[in-house]
Amino acid sequence: MSRILIVNGRLIDPASGFDETGDVAVADGRIVRLGGQIEDFTPDQRIDASGQWVIPGLIDLSARLREPGATRKADITSESRAAAAAGITTLVMPPDTAPVMDTPSVVELVTHRADAAGAARVVPLGALTQKLAGEQLSGMAGLAAAGCPALSDGNRPIRDSLVLRRALEYASTFSLPCLLTPVDSSLAQGCLNEGPTATRLGLPGIPAAAETAGLGRQLAVAGATQARVHFGRLSSADGARLLTTALGENRKLTADVAIHHLFLTDQDAMEYDTRFHLEPPLRDIIDREALRQAVADRVIRIICSDHQPHDQDAKDGPFASTAPGASGLDTLLALVLRLVEEEVLPLHRALATVTLEPARLLGLEGGRLDEGAAADLVVVDPVDPWFCSEERLRSRGLNSPFLGWEFSARATHTLVAGRLVHQPDGP
Amino acid sequence: MSVQLDDQGRLRHFLTTEGLDPRLLTRILDTAESFAGVIGKSVKKVPLLRGRTVINLFFESSTRTRTTFELAAKRLSADVLNVAVDTTTTKGESLLDMLRNLQAMQADMFVIRHNQSGAAEYFARHVDPGVAVLNAGDGWHAHPTQAMLDAFTIRRHKGPFEQLRIAIVGDIRHSRVARSQIHAFNGLGAGEVRVIAPNTLLPSDVDTLGVQVYNDLSAGLRDVDVVIALRLQHERMQGALLPGESEYFRHYGLTESRLASAHLEAIVMHPGPINRGVEIDSALADGPRSVILDQVTNGIAVRMAVMTMVLGVQADTAREVS
């Protein structure tokens, strides 16, 4: 275990509100000293963070790494390294792999691969039901013992409300949070937000009602259980409004939004650009602004990348025939900080959405900057302009909807458990 | 779709009528007029595309559209190759591979029909410079030559568009023809374009396309000069969109008596093929108001016009040759 001293950085901890210029000493994988000038510590490596920020490593609540099952698109090694280079120290992986993460053996395969890659941590989510088929409960206790901190429906909502109720009840036995996809699949038969753009392009539209109908049913079922329920990837103003009302009655509920829904709209798909074919679909400006407001009001507490890397073939063709999803690891940090620039969120709050809040939801150790905490942290240069191009992306998924954008912040060093996994011109 | 115009604003491909300059739309109609003269002659050929190769690439079955494109190309003296593609070939890579292989045969133009919206534009973005793409219908998105032949037919029968009220009746939601007609008629300055349908057959926010929306047929037909009935696919009965054909005909089927509120001189159109007794009754389809067969004839001249325009051939020579 190397001893690292980061000196003269702006230390920002969204968990405590701590925000001062000083040093951080890391040893044995943990933060051993924080703040002020640390002179009585002998490091193996010293990082000068003058003019830079030191923040907790990002925890990305939804990142598909395509392994096992679709390694032609990406794999755990490539994506965990891309994450590290982007300041993400923990990737939370939905269970919709092939095979599905519904047994301890698949979970162990994933964690073994992630350990071997030696970059960002990978936290697998267990499947709520066997094969995500929505019929039989998965062996939740076994999945938890294998390392799953929570369970998920993996973008395949459980249609049978009784099965959903039983799954939530059983998960609550083991205090396992349940991450649900708020969608009514029968209303979601399309590929773009239902509205003027889809009508113009002649594409089948997905109404916001697909989200609210799914969310409403899941809220009702969740209310009949003691489960801790989290709703993933809200996309509409109506969904945010419904959640706001529900939060008044059930404080156990949380939700997240994918970062691209805070910046893009369905109009971006106007030229049939398949990089904007997403699920849930990009909606209109009113929805985008409502989602931003919901994040500002803490109705939505978590922002994720919803990383879905694709190979070129999957995105090549007429819009509706292409695979939905965007590559998002490389741009998550820069976009979250852009929310601060655009005065959507204050800095500490913005950082909390990708550090403290996801850590709280899943009971993870990271997400804070504190003595004794795991040394998962990132040194960020807040003023280091970079242009988002295919060459610049570290993920194997080049399907970023932000190609051509200019960003101003970049992770220069990333530590996971006190080990340097990303540095300039390094790994 | 900026891809269909070159730097000078000339047609490079013909993918959609949306956003086209009114002068360009008018030029298509005027050029078609010059070819209509050719079609009326005993020798119906001009050598404008001699030595050029046109490939009809149809991923959806179509007799009428494919035939008129083929006739148009042959009357321009082009070599024509018809390729019917198994619709199970929907993966982008296969499409691209197919396109590259066909391009290797030195094609100058692809006429493409596909069941996916945006397919024609996809091809247009991938063809070599100098190769043109004509959209013969893509999904629910566009069927621009059909809209232009309808506009041509309307102009011939009713004169300038400025004073005209045009009603489109039927399945607007799934209709590429309707979308292209709306853009073309509005682009040509039509006085008013209306759509008439039950709500299940209207796309969301259809008014943003620049139309007046009616659920009631007789209210929608009041004082209109042109009535266009759209084809109703049988599968619409399966998707909980409509209770059945008989109810549809009762409320939205065109008959002489239901045209009572329309202008006395109103013409009736249909892009074909007709479902008699569903969209329109036989007496009206075969009666004096109907210009349905004119539409078919005009389709050849309009497609000849567009073909010469995208390949940069001066159609003025058509008059000289004829």
Condensed to tens digits (0 to 9), the pLDDT of residues A403-412 reads 999 999 999 9
- Annotated ligand binding at B113? The verdict is yes
Condensed to tens digits (0 to 9), the pLDDT of residues A134-150 reads 999 999 999 999 999 99
Query: CA A301, CA A234: separation in Å to the nearest integer?
Result: 11
Query: CA B123, CA B115: separation in Å to the nearest integer?
Result: 13
Instruction: Give residue B64's pLDDT.
Output: 85
Residue B142 C-alpha, separation from nearest chain A C-alpha, in angstroms: 8
Structure token digits, residue B204:
């969301």
Quick one: what percent of chain B has pLDDT higher than 90? 75
Instruction: Give residue B2's pLDDT.
Output: 78
| Cβ pair A195:B205 closer than 8 A | yes
Instruction: Give residue A127's pLDDT.
Output: 98
- Annotated ligand binding at B174? The verdict is no
Instruction: Say which of B116, B176, B204 has its CB closest to residue A320.
Output: B116
| Cβ pair B204:A194 closer than 8 A | yes
CB A361 within 8 A of CB A150: yes
Counting every residue, how long is chain B? Answer: 322
A322 touches chain B (CB under 8 A): yes
Instruction: Give residue A85's pLDDT.
Output: 97
User: A256: part of which helix (H) or strand (E)?
Assistant: strand A254-258
Instruction: Give residue B235's pLDDT.
Output: 77
Residue B54 C-alpha, separation from nearest chain A C-alpha, in angstroms: 22
Query: CA A61, CA A305: separation in Å to the nearest integer?
Result: 8
Q: Is the pLDDT of residue B318 over 50?
A: no
Query: CA A58, CA A320: separation in Å to the nearest integer?
Result: 33
Condensed to tens digits (0 to 9), the pLDDT of residues B97-120 reads 888 888 888 899 999 999 999 999
Q: Is-catalytic flag, A306?
A: yes
| Cβ pair A203:B96 closer than 8 A | no
Long-range contacts of A237-241 (CB under 8 A, 24+ apart): A237/A208, A237/A283, A237/A286, A237/A287, A237/A289, A237/A290, A237/A291, A238/A208, A238/A209, A238/A211, A238/A212, A239/A182, A239/A208, A239/A211, A239/A212, A239/A215, A240/A290, A240/A291, A240/A293, A240/A294, A240/A299, A240/A300, A241/A290
Residue B222 C-alpha, separation from nearest chain A C-alpha, in angstroms: 26
Query: CA A191, CA A213: separation in Å to the nearest integer?
Result: 18
Q: Is the pLDDT of residue A348 over 80?
A: yes
Quick one: what percent of chain A has pLDDT higher than 70? 99
Structure token digits, residue A215:
């969310």
- Average pLDDT of the residues in B146-150: 98
Confidence of residue B87 (pLDDT cuts 50, 70, 90): low
Question: Could you say which of A306, A330, A376, A381 is catalytic?
Answer: A306
Instruction: Give residue B102's pLDDT.
Output: 86
Question: Distance between terminal CA atoms of chain A?
Answer: 17
Confidence of residue B319 (pLDDT cuts 50, 70, 90): very low
- Annotated ligand binding at B273? The verdict is yes
Confidence of residue B321 (pLDDT cuts 50, 70, 90): very low
Concatenating the DSSP letter of every residue in B59-119 gives SS--SHHHHHHHHHHHHTT-EEEEEE--TT---HHHHHHHHHHHHTTT-SEEEEEESSTTH
Which positions ≥6 away from A245 have C-beta within 8 Å?
Answer: none
Instruction: Give residue B37's pLDDT.
Output: 81
- Which is nearest to A291 in space by CA: A331, A235, A251? A235
| Cβ pair A318:B1 closer than 8 A | no
Q: What share of chain B is helix, strand, coil (3-state, %, to 5)?
A: 45, 15, 40
Query: CA A274, CA B57: separation in Å to the nearest integer?
Result: 23
Condensed to tens digits (0 to 9), the pLDDT of residues A108-126 reads 999 999 999 999 999 999 9
Condensed to tens digits (0 to 9), the pLDDT of residues A286-329 reads 999 999 999 999 999 999 999 999 999 999 999 999 999 999 99
CB A250 within 8 A of CB A276: no
Q: Is the pLDDT of residue B38 over 80?
A: no
Q: Residue B2: its chain A contacts at CB < 8 A?
A: 271
Q: Phi then psi for A166, rounded to 5 degrees?
A: -60, -40
Instruction: Give residue B139's pLDDT.
Output: 95
User: Cβ–Cβ contacts within 10 Å for residue A24, how many?
Assistant: 26
A210 touches chain B (CB under 8 A): no
Of residues A251 and A421, the one with the higher pLDDT is A421
- Average pLDDT of the residues in B226-236: 89
Residue with tokens 């007789």: B218
Structure token digits, residue A281:
């679909």
Q: Is the pLDDT of residue A152 over 70?
A: yes
Structure token digits, residue A206:
């997905």
- Which is nearest to A226 in space by CA: A170, A149, A160? A170
Instruction: Give residue B233's pLDDT.
Output: 84
- Evaluated on CA atoms A72, A75, A77, A81, the torsion sign reads positive
Confidence of residue B320 (pLDDT cuts 50, 70, 90): very low
Q: At what angle do helices B176-187 and B144-158 cross, to 10 degrees?
A: 50
Of residues B131 and B89, the one with the higher pLDDT is B131
Residue with tokens 């220069």: A412
Condensed to tens digits (0 to 9), the pLDDT of residues A31-46 reads 999 999 999 999 999 9
- Which is nearest to A24 in space by CA: A60, A67, A54, A1? A54
Condensed to tens digits (0 to 9), the pLDDT of residues B178-191 reads 999 999 999 999 99
Quick one: what percent of chain B has pLDDT higher than 70? 93
**CB contacts < 8 A (A, B):** 83
Query: CA A313, CA A74: separation in Å to the nearest integer?
Result: 13
Task: For chain B, give the mean pLDDT.
Answer: 91
- Greatest alpha-carbon pair distance for chain A in Å reads 68
- Annotated ligand binding at B141? The verdict is no
Condensed to tens digits (0 to 9), the pLDDT of residues B242-288 reads 888 889 999 999 999 999 999 999 999 999 889 999 999 999 999 99
Instruction: Give residue B89's pLDDT.
Output: 52
Give the chain A residue nearest B2 (alpha carbons).
A271
A200 touches chain B (CB under 8 A): yes
Which positions ≥6 away from B100 have C-beta within 8 Å?
Answer: none
> Among A27-31, A197-201, A353-357, B277-281, which stretch is predicted with the lowest mean pLDDT?
B277-281
Q: Is the pLDDT of residue B85 over 90?
A: no
Instruction: Give residue A322's pLDDT.
Output: 95
Task: For chain A, give the mean pLDDT.
Answer: 96
Q: Is the pLDDT of residue B61 over 90?
A: no
| Cβ pair B203:A321 closer than 8 A | no
Instruction: Give residue B322's pLDDT.
Output: 43
